[in-house]
Amino acid sequence: MTRVRPTWPDLPAHVRDAVVGRLGGPVTGWTSHDGGYSPGWALTLESATGRIFVKVASTEHAVAARLHRQEAVRTAALPDGVPAPAFRWILELPDAEGGDPAWVVIASDVVSGREPRTEPWDLADLDRLQRLARSIAQHEVPDCGAFPAFADHTWPEAALLADERPTGLATYDPWLAENLDLIAGTAAPERQAEAFAGPHLVHGDLRADNALVVRRADGGEEAVAVDWPHAMRGAQFLDQTGMLPAVHAGGGPAPGEVLQRTPLPADVDPEAVTVWVAVLTAYLARGSLLDPPPGIPHLRAFQRIQAEACIPWLRERLRAGW
């Protein structure tokens, strides 16, 4: 991740004033956290009332602002015991001349931890991320609450690839283009609805860059999940497997090797996992061939390397009849 984010002094004065007012005192120090795939500010602020982590987006970046609002709702509704920082507040502010809200600020507790070691991958940290995914999935959330049903969203990319057959597929392993119909059938909407249904909490974007490793009271270490705008309700394997393309793309073990180290829960249906791998493969491959979204120029390259990690995983599972 190479994004260099704007800093506290870069915020418009009226936004800084509003944040200071919400904190109850002046900001005495700040740290800007670079990286990530969304535009905007990510800051740890220090004041007389303590430390707090804030994310800020301008509504000029409509997606980022929407995700901040979404994260506020979903983080505030997390069940007790979920390994995540506590949500504190949200501010929606107009521009300096007034009018419609032009700035969204959300705040949560600061997590004092380190980033998982990924260059090269520390297998102990990878195990912590896998245990984190299983820990999140142990929490069940109610239907029709703050968390949409994962199964209600249909991923159309496999069918679109089979229909469009874009020329850019020629830059991938030929197996992908040769098996588009099989992949589309595996990822058919009715199979997705069945595979992804469940009552379990799903982070929805759990990777190394959305987790921190913290020290426990007993001296051991465990991982905590941050950045929750995509949290949903669904099947218990989605987070644990969804991170694996990024792990392998970043030089870590292949998905099958990771799942040997930290197996999926015993009651997970292998065919449901294969549906998910087919969905991920098509989503990432098709996305990598599109123009980059505004403000996130490096997203497509990241999707590309993940798609390349997915293809052999999907091929292996389909050959095994899962």
Task: Write out pLDDT tens, residues 249-308.
Answer: 999 999 999 999 999 999 999 999 999 999 999 999 999 999 998 777 888 999 999 999
- The answer to whether residues 30 and 88 belong to one domain is yes
- The answer to whether residues 182 and 210 belong to one domain is yes
Which residue range(s) make up the domain with 53? 8-108
Give residue 100's pLDDT.
79
Question: pLDDT category, 195, cuts 50, 70, 90?
Answer: very high
* Mean of pLDDT values over 139-162: 96
Range with the lowest mean pLDDT among 31-40, 172-181, 303-312? Answer: 31-40
Range with the lowest mean pLDDT among 37-51, 102-116, 139-153, 242-256? Answer: 37-51
Query: In 10 A of CB 116, how many CB atoms?
Result: 21
Q: Which helix or strand (DSSP H or E) is residue 28 part of?
A: strand 27-32
Query: Distance (Å, rounded) from C-alpha 42 to C-alpha 106?
Result: 10
Query: In 10 A of CB 26, how many CB atoms?
Result: 10
Secondary structure (3-state) at 84:
coil
- The answer to whether residues 153 and 282 belong to one domain is yes
**Whole-number percent of the chain with pLDDT over 90:** 89
Residue 2 C-alpha from the chain's centroid:
17
The residue among 138, 126, 135, 134 whose CA lies nearest residue 261 is 126
For residue 233, tell me if it sits in a domain: yes
| CATH code assigned at 162 | 3.90.1200
Which residue, of 43, 76, 108, is where some domain finishes? 108
Give residue 296's pLDDT.
79
Q: Which two tokens stand for residue 283?
A: 């989503």
pLDDT above 50 (res 1)? no
Q: What is the pLDDT of residues 96-130, one digit of tens each?
A: 887 777 999 999 999 999 999 999 999 999 999 99
- The answer to whether residues 166 and 229 belong to one domain is yes
Give residue 297's pLDDT.
83
- The answer to whether residues 67 and 172 belong to one domain is no
Q: Which residue has the tokens 């501010």?
A: 91
80 close to 95: Cβ distance less than 8 angstroms: no
| CATH code assigned at 16 | 3.30.200.20
Give residue 37's pLDDT.
62
The residue among 244, 260, 231 whose CA lies nearest residue 312 is 244
Strands 221-225, 211-215: pairing is: antiparallel
pTM across the whole model: 0.92
Give residue 194's pLDDT.
98
* CB neighbour burial string for 142-166, b if at least 16 within 10 angstroms, e if fewer: eeeebbbbbbeeebbbbbbbbeeee
Range with the lowest mean pLDDT among 33-37, 42-46, 84-88, 127-131? Answer: 33-37
Give residue 98's pLDDT.
76
- The answer to whether residues 56 and 80 belong to one domain is yes
Q: Is the CA virtual torsion 196, 199, 204, 209 positive or negative? A: negative
pLDDT above 70 (res 88)? yes
Q: What does the H/E/C string look like for 223-281?
A: EEECCCCCCEEECCCHHHHHCHHHHHHCCCCCHHHHHHHCCCCCCCCHHHHHHHHHHHH
Write down how long the chain is: 322
Give residue 214's pLDDT.
98
For residue 2, tell me if it sits in a domain: no
* Mean of pLDDT values over 20-27: 96
Residues 6 or more apart in contact with residue 99 via CB below 8 angstroms: none
Question: pLDDT category, 35, cuts 50, 70, 90?
Answer: confident
Domain count for the chain, please give it: 2
For residue 114, tell me if it sits in a domain: no
Give residue 3's pLDDT.
63
Range with the lowest mean pLDDT among 4-8, 135-139, 140-144, 310-314? Answer: 4-8
